[in-house]
Amino acid sequence: MRPPSRALRGAASAALLAGLLLPQPAAVAMPYFAYRYGYACTQCHTTVPQLTPFGKAFKYAGYRIPGPVAQHAATPLSMQNAILHTSGADPSGLPKTVVDYLTVNSAGPIGRAFDYFADSYVVDGGRPGALHDAWIEFSSGIANPDAPQDLRLKAGQFYLPLPVSPEIFRETIAHYAVFDQTVGRNPFDLGESRLGVDASLGAQYAGSSLHVVVTQGHDFQSGLPSSHPDLMLFGAEALDGLTLSAYAVEGARDLNGPVLDRFAREGAAAGMHFGKGELVTLLQTGSDSSADGAGKGERSNAAFAQLRWLFSPALTGIVRQDLTGSAAGNVRSTTAAVSLRTRANSRLVVQEVFGQTRSLDLELFVAN
């Protein structure tokens, strides 16, 4: 693998100098933890799968509660399913009302310093799904809570560390366009889970972290051969009411053409918290040396701005503007959504998307 470029080294240096950002915890609503410890689902969640401060601490500790706690027998499996109705027509012919996704997952501690997470989609987007997460993680901070730094090593299939969660903690039905963006014939995007290793170092319980991630240079279901490993650096720092982050990814893809496509994606984000509101902005740039597989280079860019407002612990409103740009042109869209907790383990999302096409969508999510 070639050495990191100047841009990649620069992004890493900027992240280190800034201090470094909050990693997004990987977790979904798992009622069996409530059964095991005798809690209500709202102990860990506001509107599922959003986490309360207790829920974040529980996940950070590798699904552990300090000290002696009464536990009940519970099978470490849970299911989440969502029914989606959309006013828009699906170009592939799916009906307007479908099972959007059906997942089966499991998580928990292993010994004193390890934990695991597994999440498989039986149905994904109305079609047969696949494994999304299956990883095991070591944490020095769990083994030694008094240590000032926490070293974590994660191995398996997982989502890349990003300023916002592209899948598990996304509150809108519509995806972030920046994380779905592909360029030319290169199928790489930031929103898919990948096989690899993630090594991170952060201040214990302080919210700052640096990640070095190496993943397989392959995109699931792309039909392309595996190429050079992908390298990612991600850093974040949480200040008083402000979170800053930066990331850089480099890799290469054999697009079945005469010239290998060497690509880079670099992004920076800022999140501001004020009262009941949260504003997150992200800007990403990209370059491909051979996006067509024949030696034609291409530049790309993408951005979003998202305002989230907590009307109550059970009701959240989100407005987001997405933009992607490449040689194929610019695409803009606006998403407006409300997320309502209907019961402790369920939510209803009502969303309208304004863009090249317009749709009104409703999704009912239930965790069991």
pLDDT given for residue 152 in this prediction: 94
Give the range among 70-74, 121-125, 239-243 with minimum mean pLDDT. 70-74
* Arithmetic mean of pLDDT, 130-155: 91
* Tokens 């994904």 found at: 124
The mean per-residue pLDDT over the stretch 108-122 comes to: 93
The DSSP line for 153-194 is EEEEEEPPP-SS-SSTT--SSSPPHHHH--BTTB---TTS-E
- Please state the rounded mean pLDDT for residues 246-251: 98
Q: Is the pLDDT of residue 82 over 90?
A: yes
The predicted pLDDT at position 41 comes to: 75
Dihedral sign of CA atoms 154, 155, 157, 160 in order: positive
pLDDT in tens, 319-341: 999 999 999 899 999 999 999 99
Provide the pLDDT confidence category of residue 65 given band limits of 50, 70 and 90.
Answer: confident
Structure confidence at residue 205 (pLDDT): 65
Of the candidates 282, 270, 276, the one whose C-alpha atom is nearest the C-alpha of residue 316 is 276
User: Which pLDDT belongs to residue 89?
Assistant: 80
Q: Which residues, 6+ apart, have CB-to-CB distance to 266 below 8 Å?
A: 7, 8, 11, 246, 247, 248, 249, 284, 285, 286
Confidence of residue 57 (pLDDT cuts 50, 70, 90): confident
Alpha helix locations (H) across the chain? 6-18, 31-37, 53-60, 140-143, 177-180
Tell me the C-alpha distance between 296 and 184, whole Å.
Answer: 10
In whole angstroms, give the CA distance from residue 76 to residue 109: 11
Mean pLDDT of 125-140: 93
Instruction: Answer whether residue 8 shows pLDDT above 80.
Output: no
pLDDT for 170-216, tens place per residue? 889 999 999 999 999 999 999 999 999 999 998 776 678 999 999 99
Q: Domain-by-domain residue ranges, the chain?
A: 6-367
pLDDT at 16: 34
> For residue 32, what pLDDT is reported?
74
Exposed/middle/buried for 256, CB within 10 Å: 0-12, 13-18, 19+?
exposed
Question: pTM of the predicted model, to two decimals?
Answer: 0.86
Using the structure block, give the residue that is written with the tokens 């969508």: 361
Cis amide leading into 109 (omega within 30): no
pLDDT at res. 18: 35
Instruction: Kindly tell me if the per-residue pLDDT of 21 is higher than 50.
Output: no
Share the mean pLDDT of the chain: 87
Least confident of 39-43, 162-166, 167-171: 39-43
pLDDT exceeds cutoff 70 at 22:
no
Task: Say if residue 50's pLDDT is above 50.
Answer: yes
Share of the chain above pLDDT 90, in %: 60
- Environment class of 225 (CB within 10 Å of its CB; exposed 0-12, middle 13-18, buried 19+): exposed
pLDDT (0 to 100) of residue 3: 40
**6-367: CATH architecture:** Beta Barrel (2.40)
**Three-state SS at 15:** helix
CA distance 290 to 293: 5
